[in-house]
Chain A
């Protein structure tokens, strides 16, 4: 059968390699393209955790000259993926990381992390990335992967951040990158 499977998630698999977050691997193994639509089958976040998740998703994939994670609907995707695709043990490091970031923000900034400034949130995310707060590294990479996967399978990610060719109609295997200066959606 076909061994050259290149869909949106396969691209994620290639990008993240061996350290792929289990629910994304599970989704990719069956060529699922899980986009948030229906309600999650279980409640994943407390309201405070959810607010922080929304804010941090935007810090991972911020609005620049193209929309960021929030406009792309990534937060709903994160919740959906963790509810429908993840096992309880997959959720644990995400929730623990959010709680650790919250605790650190209260200590350092005196405000809830969701209400902190973008600069403060970036500092908190950097601490997590560098494993400088409890469960930081175990949180950061899976969270980053879910956000990126959600973003690049969204309409914004496919149509705006990347260049979408619904019906290429031809193949050019020596196409100058300079003519598009973007990545083609898969």
Chain B
């Protein structure tokens, strides 16, 4: 395969798919590699549209298999209908039981987490890019909102984001398709909550589920089935398969290899350039080195960091890409395990027709523009929905059976996602002597939540209860369970961006300080994590980096 490719993209998820699309559309011959199995749009969505009784029961995953092979994936909603998209935790392990407890929930298929993600899509606010500098936390972002805003426009117009225009300074609007409608109980709650908790908002979800067809991409609007994680043959939500892969293939310049495990990058220290990637065929175990002029590392925050760490100077434990000493550090995840719910009075003549894949959002209200003395820094938002469950009469027999044809009251539930600060000693590293079946050193996690995160979780619970009570909900309850880092599946950091090569792995173009032809455009690059869902920002940064990389190539700088 020597010299066949101008660029290699490692990983085919949210970021990798975007890198492949942008680079091929700009004229490069691209090889995209993914460690997982092949999944083709539509034809490989085995359980798309299957009613519950047609989902395997015959081959349902017994608990023994769950405990032997999916003991981490089970924290990330693995099911018989989605199992093909998930990592096998036995075959592809990390250093379980060492360091601090961490759930590294990984996909195991082409498309990566784009197939199984939550699809909530938010822009970061200007405030998010400035907070580290203002608070003296971590490292200042080398970019500001204005640097990324046009790229948000671009990716939003491509993928389709449904949502409502709100003109909130701390949650910039996207280029929106019409929002998914609130139900009658949520509309009531919006009015009550905004009246009784001044300054706080309850707005429509912002989702990559489209509400208008995109015939130019062969995509049909959301059909309100709420089975996204099985793959959607309508192409109604953003995935590599539905959006970026067909675009890249349409150029005839893409080669896609599944079952291709990248273990390290080849590096020429004389020219300070990456010269290729080392790939192991997951089926045969055969290793090869594929040369490339340009490499986009998009394997996921942790996996990209692992590959960088494993690209080591001969006879040294040190990575070629760790001149700064920050590689593997400042790993973060959103706070997640706080939930609040309550009963909405009335509207009992009405129910929901159809199943939305997302409903409403309470945007961040804490510490906007500076510290407010609430005992922690940064903030959180809530994702929620109001719905009615079937009535639950007690007893047995015909009366109970027919009683269950009624609905219970409207209940509103919401869960918080909050910002975790970057800490130098929240780090991932290569295990000293344990390797996987491809010879890759296992990842070890030493990541914990600190006071700031725990206080934020307390506050999210208390404030959530207060807001719902003030709005007039009854039977308000809340819960907070242990958050194991990784739980939110929003792990980020490990190869952060920064202006100073002595303090960061990547520059403001997601480009390695130690290799001008290496770009890392997934979650690894994040120097802080805001409190909003991150994928849209990865897409925008990837498109921006690809544009820069091609310009540099054309200028002869790469």
Contact = CB atoms under 8 A, between A and B. Distances in A.
A110 interface: no
A180 B63 CA distance: 38
B352 A171 contact: yes
Interface string B176-216: 00001111111100000000000000000000000000000
A1 B76 contact: yes
Interface string A4-41: 11111001001110000000001001111111111001
B62 A3 contact: no
Contacts of A61: 396, 401
A97 to B, nearest CB: 13
Contacts of A60: 396-397, 400
B355 interface: yes
A125 B396 CA distance: 9
A35 B182 CA distance: 34
Given A1-B118, A173-B186, A175-B351, A32 B52 contact: no
A173 B389 contact: no
Contact of B60 (A6, A84, A176): A84
5 contacts: A32-B61, A33-B60, A173-B352, A181-B405, A183-B390
B74 A29 contact: yes
A30 B55 CA distance: 13
Given A33-B55, A38-B58, 14 more contacts: A4-B359, A30-B61, A30-B70, A31-B77, A33-B53, A129-B395, A154-B53, A165-B353, A167-B49, A169-B224, A173-B184, A174-B183, A178-B349, A182-B405
Interface string A156-186: 0011010011111111111111101111111
A3 B180 CA distance: 17
A175 B58 CA distance: 36
B389 A11 contact: yes
A164 B224 CA distance: 13
A37 B57 contact: yes
Nearest to A10: B389
B70 to A, nearest CB: 8
Contacts of A16: 392
A80 B348 CA distance: 37
B113 to A, nearest CB: 9
Contacts of A33: 52-53, 55, 57, 60, 80
A183 B418 CA distance: 35
Interface of A: 1-8, 11, 14-16, 26, 29-38, 41, 59-62, 64, 80, 84-85, 122, 125, 129, 144, 153-155, 158-159, 161, 164-178, 180-186
A26 B356 CA distance: 25
B365 interface: no
Given A33-B55, A166-B49, A167-B223, A172 B415 contact: no
A31 B55 CA distance: 11
Contacts of B353: 165, 168, 170-173, 175, 184
Contacts of B357: 2, 4
A32 B60 contact: yes
Nearest to B228: A2
Contacts of A155: 51, 53
A158 to B, nearest CB: 6
Interface in B45-92: 49, 51-53, 55-63, 66, 70, 74, 76-82
Given A1-B489, A26-B63, A158 B389 contact: no
B34 to A, nearest CB: 20
B402 interface: yes
Given A6-B355, A41-B62, A166-B49, A177 B223 contact: no
Contacts of A38: 57-59
B405 A183 contact: yes
CB-CB nearest 6 A-B residue pairs = A173-B183, A35-B57, A168-B354, A37-B58, A31-B79, A175-B353
Contacts of B60: 32-35, 84
A154 B53 CA distance: 5
B355 A176 contact: no
Contact of B396 (A7, A129, A158, A169): A129
B178 to A, nearest CB: 12
A122 B56 CA distance: 34
A16 to B, nearest CB: 7
A129 B395 CA distance: 8
B51 A4 contact: no
A5 B118 CA distance: 11
B168 interface: no
A30 B181 contact: no
B350 A158 contact: no
Interface string B379-395: 00001010101101001
Contacts of A144: 396
A183 B56 CA distance: 24
Contacts of A8: 52
B143 to A, nearest CB: 26
B344 to A, nearest CB: 12
A159 B53 CA distance: 10
A168 B80 contact: no
Contacts of A11: 389-390
Contacts of A161: 401, 405
B51 A158 contact: yes
Given A1-B76, A33-B80, A64-B398, A168 B57 contact: no
A171 B180 contact: yes
Given A2-B119, A175-B351, A183 B397 contact: no
A85 B224 contact: no
Nearest to A69: B401
Interface in B386-424: 387, 389-390, 392, 395-398, 400-402, 404-407, 415
Contacts of A3: 118, 383, 415
Contacts of A35: 52-53, 55, 57, 60
B350 A2 contact: no
B177 to A, nearest CB: 14
A40 to B, nearest CB: 11
B389 A14 contact: yes
